[in-house]
Structure 1
Amino acid sequence: MEIGGWADETFGGVADVFRDNFAEFGELGTAVSVRVGGRPVVELWGGVADQRSGRPWTRETVVPVFSCAKGLVSICAHLLAQQGRLDLDAPVATYWPEFAAVGKERITTRMVLGHRAGVPVLDRTPSFAEIAEWAPVVHAVEEQVPLWEPGEAYEYHGHVFGFLVGEIIRRITGLTPGRFFREAIGEPLGVRAWIGLPASETGELARLVEAEGRPAGDPQSLLMRIVTMNGALVFPGLDEPHGWNDPELLGMELPGAGAVASASGLAALYGAAVTGIDGGSRLLSTETVTDAVREVSAGPTWQGFDLGQRWGSGFLLDSEHPRPMLGGRSFGNDGAGGQFVFGDDEFGVGFAYVANRMIGHGDDRANRLVTALRACLKG
């Protein structure tokens, strides 16, 4: 397997694991990127971006990264809080009065970021066209009765997370979350990451492939209702119409799970958040990161499942399982295809791993790379 890119000698252990992952896990196409102190120290890619044509993966290749999108909108929310435009502990209705209906008047943005708002799924099933239109989903969120007393339990909020935080961003800035991210962060930093992929970038898009034997899941379960918006979207499911290789789906704003990015773009974003890049000032202050990494949710969910996850305000935190990072200052998100991104301002690290072979949520490919990175940093 031809590997492109480079790694600083100090980080050769990451390169070794990256190469080994092709043999160990049957990688198709993949990339890993690491920034330390704002400087790129690992930029590696390899394999095939599109199995049908054999088009190779390059540094510019982008791929759907699913719930890593939550990190993009969460960084936007924390940036607005840092600017004094958003109080994460004020009721959402402060910015979005219509949201207060049917028992949601006490819900704060932090409850949403910590998956504690009580609205992980909608009773209504929007159509694909309504999801693309945005406003019908927002109205459905306004009408939704919480499943539990807000703040008293937590459950993964999936797509609703993105629409809810995204509408707060829109109410404050006048811009949809994808547009705000590009104008305030993506374009100024030059990072290859989007919520709503431009048509001009589809030529660099990797095509996802399902690994053999991935279970489909019970469509009536709460988890499947969460990740498919009651069946309006498909999961697992890749092909047109409405699958995760469908350009129409990738072009719409799905801020809970619909980001498309390159590994180098995501690593640069998180590197900018914790240290700045290319000599620029850091995007998020030490105080803002301290607020983001304070644990908000952990342990058993509303359904009684304990998957080992710890949540700060919008981000996964370091945990033994399923996503070990570098320590108490680490914050990130992972995606349904195995993608993983995080930042850490103690170590000055921005890390991102992406791939197009969807082995499963929380698989060990990225974890092995993080373990190697940790050893390199200690060395």
Structure 2
Amino acid sequence: MSNVQGYFDPRFETVRELFAEQQTDEQARGGALCVTVGGETVLDLWQGVVDKDNQQVWEQDTLVNVFSCTKPLGAVALLQQVEAGRIELDSPLAEAWPEFAQAGKEQITLRQVLSHRSGLSAISDTLPPEALFDWDTMATALAAQEPWWTPGAAHGYAPVTYAWLLGEPLKRLSGERPGAYIQQHICQPLGMDFFVGVPDDDLQRIAHVSRLRNQYGDDYARKLFASMGQPEGMGFKAFGNPSSMMVSTNTREWQQAEILSANGTGNARSLARFWQVMAHGGSLDGAHLLDDKLVNVMQQQHSQGMDKTLLAPTRFGLGIMLDQDWEGGGFGMGPQAYGHPGAGGSLGFCDPEAGVGFGYVTNTMGPYVLMDPRALALSREVYRCLKQQD
């Protein structure tokens, strides 16, 4: 017996059936799926439970941490500064953040930071757990950090430091705190129920996140987890320094911080809405995120090949992942699709050719490096339905 709630266009009934079937996994807890095609929402579904005791049902307005699905919002926020003429893509980041110009980082550009080419995927000095929630401590540590490789020479994903690499310049260029900026200039104009730093009144809507047990992912995931076991290595530092990164997800400190690389909290509907507008070149029906020229630059390949942090092949534009042709590296739609997965399974992306905006969120974290098989299966089925209608 399925407990799927919400709306579906009958043309996409098989997607709804697949979503319901995923809930029959005995470890499944809760999740939501929203898909837009052109100007309309064709799927807006949710199911399961939000709490660790499996007592509380997932509601229409349940929120959940979507981890790195937050990164493209931070990238758009910075690109809005470019659009406003406050900084250029190829300007040194130090123009906005003078303290950054030390330890060999004088020439690192905004473009390099956005495309994970800055060599700043991790902080090498061990920081205390509470440092993660002190904005200035993290910004100061990054400003002092030496790049792990020659900036521009290679790429390596910055899972957490990205928040300050983008957020500190954003703060200085806009005069606003990053979470407040994203709320005012991205979420509110688009009507997104999404926060980087959840207000007190909304905390009770957040689903409790837990991990799938006895699941080990693919070969890339195993390689990454092995690298995270080496305390002096970049992989360990990128995901585990400060150590609170790994254990804070369900805490109020995490939910209310402004870690725009990892702690965005929202729902499938808000992700699909963001990507619906991006699928249409950054503007749709009076909602404007970004000039279409900058959206085009975002989609250009800036990094490709073996990722120094993830130890898997990755392709990046500016603040977004691009499609790849290996299982788990692509979005399950057309080759022009782009977006961003989040740790544990959430996924937000668009396919401009198909006019699709896609959002999937879950509170049951899987172990994959890039795309989660649950989200991918749903995306592929959406695409199959679209092709049938052509």
Q: Report the TM-score when normalising by structure 1.
A: 0.92
Instruction: Indicate the residue corresponding to 1:368 in structure 2.
Output: 377
Alignment of 1:159-238 (within 5 A): 159-213=160-214, 217-218=228-229, 220=231, 221-231=233-243, 233-235=244-246, 237=247
1:284-334: CA deviation from partner (whole Å, max 9, x where unpaired)? 3432221011111111233793x2321111111111232422334322111
Alignment of 1:88-167 (within 5 A): 88-167=89-168
Q: What is the aligned counterpart of 2:318 among 310, 313, 316? A: 313
Instruction: Indicate the residue corresponding to 1:354 in structure 2.
Output: 361
Deviation at 1:196, TM superposition (A): 1.0
Q: What is the aligned counterpart of 1:283 among 272, 289, 294? A: 289
Deviation at 1:202, TM superposition (A): 1.3
Instruction: Indicate the residue corresponding to 1:240 in structure 2.
Output: none
**Within the alignment, does 1:257 sit opposite 2:269 as a pair?**
no
Deviation at 1:61, TM superposition (A): 0.7
Paired amino acid for 2:28: E
Identity, % of aligned pairs?
31
SS at match of 2:50: strand
Aligned length: 371
- 8 Å contact kept, 1:268–1:277: no
Q: What is the aligned counterpart of 2:252 among 247, 258, 261? A: 247
SS at match of 2:344: coil
Change (3 A) 1:346 1:142: same
Cα distance in 2 between the residues matched to 1:66 and 1:185:
17
271-280 or 19-28, which deviates more: 271-280
SS at match of 1:258: coil
Paired amino acid for 1:332: G
SS at match of 1:309: strand
SS at match of 1:32: strand
Alignment of 1:269-348 (within 5 A): 269-275=274-280, 279-302=285-308, 305=311, 307-321=312-326, 322-325=328-331, 326-348=333-355
SS at match of 1:17: helix
Q: Unaligned regions of 5+ residues in structure 2, if any?
A: 217-224
Deviation at 1:277, TM superposition (A): 8.3
- List 4+ stretches of structure 1 deviating above 4 A: 214-217
Cα distance in 1 between the residues matched to 2:97 and 2:6:
46
Paired amino acid for 1:364: P
- 8 Å contact kept, 1:308–1:320: no
Deviation at 1:260, TM superposition (A): 0.8
1:241-274: CA deviation from partner (whole Å, max 9, x where unpaired)? xx21111211111111111111111111221233
Change (3 A) 1:183 1:304: closer
- 8 Å contact kept, 2:322–2:339: yes
1:5-38: CA deviation from partner (whole Å, max 9, x where unpaired)? 1211222232122112223574210100011223
Q: Report the TM-score when normalising by structure 2.
A: 0.89
Q: Unaligned regions of 5+ residues in structure 1, if any?
A: 238-242
Cα distance in 2 between the residues matched to 1:330 and 1:288:
16
**Within the alignment, does 1:56 sit opposite 2:74 as a pair?**
no
Paired amino acid for 2:16: A
SS at match of 1:367: helix
- 8 Å contact kept, 2:307–2:313: no
RMSD: 2.1
Deviation at 1:79, TM superposition (A): 2.5
